[in-house]
Amino acid sequence: MSADSSPDRPRALALMAHPDDIEFVAAGTLLLLAEAGWEIDYCNIANGDCGSMVTDRAETARIRAREARDAAAILGATFHDSVSSDLMIFYDERHLRRVASVVRAARPQIVLTHFPDDYMEDHMNACRLAVTAAFVKAMPNFVTEPPLAPVPGDVFVYHAMPHGQCDGLRRPVTPEFTVDTTSVQPRKRAALAAHVSQKAWLDSTQGMDSYLDTCDEVSRRVGSQWGGCDHAEGWTRHLHLGLSAHEADPLTEALAGKVTFQRR
């Protein structure tokens, strides 16, 4: 928790697989929550160490961590260190104990994570870890690594849109609701721009000629298709059972003026 954080303000944790995933699909929502008075937390489960054609894994991890910290600072988020390597995010005991420790440290009421069926295993396993880590947040007999005391209270999980707005079998995905992020799109883009090395990596491996423009295109597509606005992020709420005593929707309540529902 950062030095200027308030223990009395509600908290939201973005918990995703790789450096830049948060910026692509969740940064706008985080920024709007911060404007609404929420504390925001930021964690990439993997350290991005495979994301280079020119530096080795150790040096790449150092570069990506520095860039991720810069991005979190632009968002005004508390940064949490990564706990895994690229392509090594598995749904296993080691990862679960570490990710659960991040959740307990952040003490969130909202967890933002990947869609359950996305285009790569790291994203899907990160989603599973995030959901279970939220589930065990308050369980005294579940020991985290590093050990942290259980944190009581409800937590609500929301899933971002998958890459390409479809699942791994190319089937279109419709979000439950969208959040109009037009007003914060410049800051979202600035946070993504902090990942300087990732642009070079994607240019050389995936043919993404304009890293930042691709982010704009994704949010513009979500906004035009479902939000009726210039830029939006799409979300689907996870079932509350095991996570909270009662069904609730704190994300749409906090951002009521920015939300458009597609389905309930």
Say what percent of the chain tops pLDDT 90.
Answer: 88
Rounded average pLDDT over 13-26: 97
Tokens of 79: 């940064």
pLDDT digits (tens, 9 = 90+) for 25-57: 999 999 999 999 999 999 999 999 998 888 999
Length of the chain: 264
The phi-psi region of residue 105 (left if phi > 0; otherwise alpha if psi is between -120 and 50; otherwise beta) is: alpha
Rounded-to-integer distance, Cα 192 and Cα 18, Å: 12
**Per-residue confidence band for 1, with pLDDT thresholds at 50, 70 and 90:** very low
| Residues β-bridged to residue 12 | 40, 110
Rounded-to-integer distance, Cα 101 and Cα 254, Å: 26
**Per-residue confidence band for 209, with pLDDT thresholds at 50, 70 and 90:** low
Beta strands in the chain (DSSP E): 11-16, 39-44, 78-80, 110-113, 156-160, 177-180, 232-237, 259-261
Rounded-to-integer distance, Cα 193 and Cα 130, Å: 26
Rounded-to-integer distance, Cα 188 and Cα 183, Å: 10
Rounded average pLDDT over 231-251: 97
User: Domains plus CATH for the chain?
Assistant: 11-261 (3.40.50.10320)
Residue type, 263: R
Q: Does 96 score more than 60 pLDDT?
A: yes
Q: Does 126 score more than 50 pLDDT?
A: yes
Q: Does 112 score more than 70 pLDDT?
A: yes
> pTM, whole model, 2 decimals?
0.94
In which order are the strands placed within the sheet that holds 259-261?
Answer: 78-80, 39-44, 11-16, 110-113, 156-160, 232-237, 177-180, 259-261
Number of H helices, E strands in the chain: 9, 8
pLDDT digits (tens, 9 = 90+) for 226-236: 999 999 999 99
Say what percent of the chain tops pLDDT 70.
Answer: 94
Rounded average pLDDT over 131-148: 98
Report the range out of 73-82, 189-198, 208-217 with the highest average pLDDT.
73-82
Determine the 3-state secondary structure of 112 from DSSP: strand
pLDDT for 2: 45
Rounded average pLDDT over 188-217: 81
Rounded-to-integer distance, Cα 159 and Cα 126, Å: 11
Rounded average pLDDT over 144-159: 98
